[in-house]
Amino acid sequence: MPSNTEIRNVLVIGAAGNLGQIVLPGLLASGAFTVSILTRASTTASFPASATIIKADYDSEEDLVGAFTGQDAIVSTIGGAGFTQQRAFIDAAIKAGVKRFLPSELSSNTRSDAVRKLLPLFEAKQDILDYLKGKEGTGLTWTGLATGPMLDWGLKTGFLGFDLTARKAKIWDGGKTTFSATNEADIAAAVVSVLQHPVETANKYLYVETAAVSQKAILDSLEAATSSTWEVENVNTADSVALGRQLVAQGDFTGNFLLVQASTWGNGQGLRQNFSVDEELANSLLGLPKGDVHQTVRRVIQDIK
pLDDT value of position 304: 83
Whether 82 and 45 share a structural domain: yes
* 262: enclosing H helix or E strand: helix 255-265
Q: What percent of the chain has pLDDT above 70? A: 99
Where does a domain end: 160, 191, 207?
207
DSSP state of 11: E
Whether 155 and 131 share a structural domain: no
Asked if residue 2 has pLDDT above 60, the reply is: no
Among 13, 2, 66, 6, smallest CA distance to 36 is for: 13
The range of the structural domain enclosing residue 296 comes to 151-180+211-272+291-304
- Across the chain, mean pLDDT equals 95
Whether 23 and 112 share a structural domain: yes
Q: Is 117 inside a domain boundary?
A: yes
**How far is it, in rounded angstroms, from Cα 151 to Cα 128?**
26
Whether 129 and 169 share a structural domain: no
Whether 107 and 229 share a structural domain: no
pLDDT value of position 3: 53
CATH number at 44 reads 3.40.50.720
Q: Is 2 inside a domain boundary?
A: no
CATH number at 160 reads 3.90.25
Contact 140, 93 (CB under 8 A): yes
pLDDT value of position 44: 83
Number of domains into which the chain is organized: 2
The sheet that has 162-163: what strands, in order across it?
Answer: 162-163, 168-172, 231-235
The sheet that has 52-55: what strands, in order across it?
Answer: 52-55, 34-39, 9-13, 73-76, 100-102, 141-146, 204-207
Q: Is 98 inside a domain boundary?
A: yes
Whether 73 and 164 share a structural domain: no
Whether 120 and 97 share a structural domain: yes
* Residue range 186-216, pLDDT digits in tens: 999 999 999 999 999 999 999 999 999 999 9
* Residue range 24-39, pLDDT digits in tens: 999 999 999 999 999 9
**How far is it, in rounded angstroms, from Cα 143 to Cα 202?**
6
* Residue range 220-229, pLDDT digits in tens: 999 999 999 9
